[in-house]
Structure 1
Amino acid sequence: MNRTRIVALALAATAAALVPALGQGATAAEGTYLQDPAGGEKSMKSMWTKDEMHKVEGQLRFFPGVQYKTVTRPGPSGAPEFERRVGDPRTLAWQPSYEFGWAVSDSTLVKKALTTKEGKHPVVVHAVLRAPDRSKAGEVRRELRDRPATGRERVPGGKRIACDTGEYTVEWSVTRSGYGTVSGTLRWDSSCEQYRTAFTTGEGPR
């Protein structure tokens, strides 16, 4: 086997590994998300009840969930029979999901002090995805009963969003019934350019 063919086979193998064969449907960058408030796992917005004896904290992680189909392409020059599965940029779209985090604290003796996170709580999570023209592009709401004082809940959005349709706004809230609500917003750019470029160059999604 000559050197040119060896190099071509190596390049084809590398490209194939970057975009796995995922059948007709695929989800890339599943772990990529936007968070409000920004920061780590424990970064949350909070509010106290009027008597300052109960605190509600909340957080949203928005997963854009890029979707695409794969197609079969021939290998590089020198090894065209070494076929590979690559993302088809014409099929790119988004299918968001929402992950809510919460924490409920109760003061035992002193206001805003000596708090505990115990018991079961009714929690309501809600999010609205608004298009650039402020119309409602998606909405999720879930009533969670008997949940621990700290927890997380992932909710599928159930709506497909076209690529490159502008900047969207996510309005979200976490409510502990009887205590109060924390809420926030975050912005999301629906551009698929980075994925389109990656598929065109054969590098796959990052």
Structure 2
Amino acid sequence: MKRTRTAALALATAAAALAPVLAQQATAAEGTYLQDPAGGEKAMKSMWTKDEMHKVEGQFRFHPGVQYKTVSRPGPAAAPDYERRSGDPSTLAWEPSYEFAWAVSDSTVVKKAVTVKEGEHPIVVHAVLRRADRSTVAEVHKELKGKPATGREKVAGGRRIACDTGEYTVEWSVTRSGYGTLTGSLNWNSSCEQYRTAFSRDHGKQS
């Protein structure tokens, strides 16, 4: 009975120690993105129409979308029967997605002074992922009809990118048809070294 209680205690202790590590990895894999312009949720590029009666704002987020499979690992020496799941570095790859945000303002009386964000708007979003030699790796284009004056749209890239294949550039645009187009670009490094290091550290936690 004493041995059973001791083993159960060791198992619970090991599980408690491993849970934060695995949770942090999952959060990092799902929540990492690059943003243009840099800053928080409200950071936007902006432009006015020539008559200064309409304003278009835009923001872009590139989600690299790390992908990997997990494998079973033996538990620590105190609880060898406790199996855990850990990332398999040999299966690492990227599967990017592209997120666009916009805001459309219309002047009501005085140019640039009193504006409102209302009504429905035709929005066109576009992004191209390019290699260092400028060749196209992936491209997304979507025409959104009847969208509110402020909104976000995330578009799946549908293309896997191998790890460690160099530097890439993401070129993006948000267009409010009839008003104008905002553009920008981001640089992205496809290295997976940080994930390999994390998986290696996790694999080593067996004592």
The TM-score range, normalised by the shorter chain, is 0.7 to 0.9
Q: 1:153 matched to which residue of 2? A: 153
SS in 1 for 2:30: coil
Alignment deviations for residues 58-107 of structure 1 (CA, whole Å, 9 cap, x no partner): 00011111100000111123432211111000000111111100001111
Unaligned runs of 5+ in 1: 21-25
- Does residue 37 of structure 1 match 2:37? yes
Q: 2:182 matched to which residue of 1? A: 182
CA distance in 1, matches of 2:12, 2:148: 54
Q: How does 1:107-146 map to 2 (within 5 A)?
A: 107-146=107-146
CA distance in 2, matches of 1:27, 1:137: 27
CA distance in 1, matches of 2:33, 2:20: 24
Amino acid at match of 1:202: D
Aligned length: 198
CA distance in 2, matches of 1:181, 1:91: 39
SS in 1 for 2:18: helix
- Does residue 93 of structure 1 match 2:96? no
Q: 2:51 matched to which residue of 1? A: 51
Shift of 1:132: 2.1
CA distance in 2, matches of 1:70, 1:13: 19
Residues 14 and 79, structure 2, Cα contact 8 Å, conserved in 1: no
Q: 1:72 matched to which residue of 2? A: 72
CA distance in 2, matches of 1:160, 1:104: 33
Shift of 1:15: 2.6
SS in 2 for 1:201: helix
Residues 10 and 79, structure 2, Cα contact 8 Å, conserved in 1: no
Q: 2:104 matched to which residue of 1? A: 104
CA distance in 2, matches of 1:80, 1:98: 43
Over the residues paired in the alignment, what is the CA RMSD in angstroms? 2.4
CA distance in 2, matches of 1:12, 1:105: 52
Q: Calculate percent identity across the aligned residue pairs.
A: 73
Amino acid at match of 1:10: T
SS in 1 for 2:196: helix
Shift of 1:11: 3.5
Shift of 1:135: 1.1
Residues 16 and 84, structure 1, Cα contact 8 Å, conserved in 2: no
Amino acid at match of 1:129: L
Amino acid at match of 1:82: Y
Residues 33 and 63, structure 1, Cα contact 8 Å, conserved in 2: yes
Q: TM-score, normalised by structure 1?
A: 0.88
Q: 2:17 matched to which residue of 1? A: 14
Residues 94 and 163, structure 2, Cα contact 8 Å, conserved in 1: yes
Alignment deviations for residues 4-36 of structure 1 (CA, whole Å, 9 cap, x no partner): 97668634553356337xxxxx99621111110
Residues 173 and 181, structure 1, Cα contact 8 Å, conserved in 2: yes
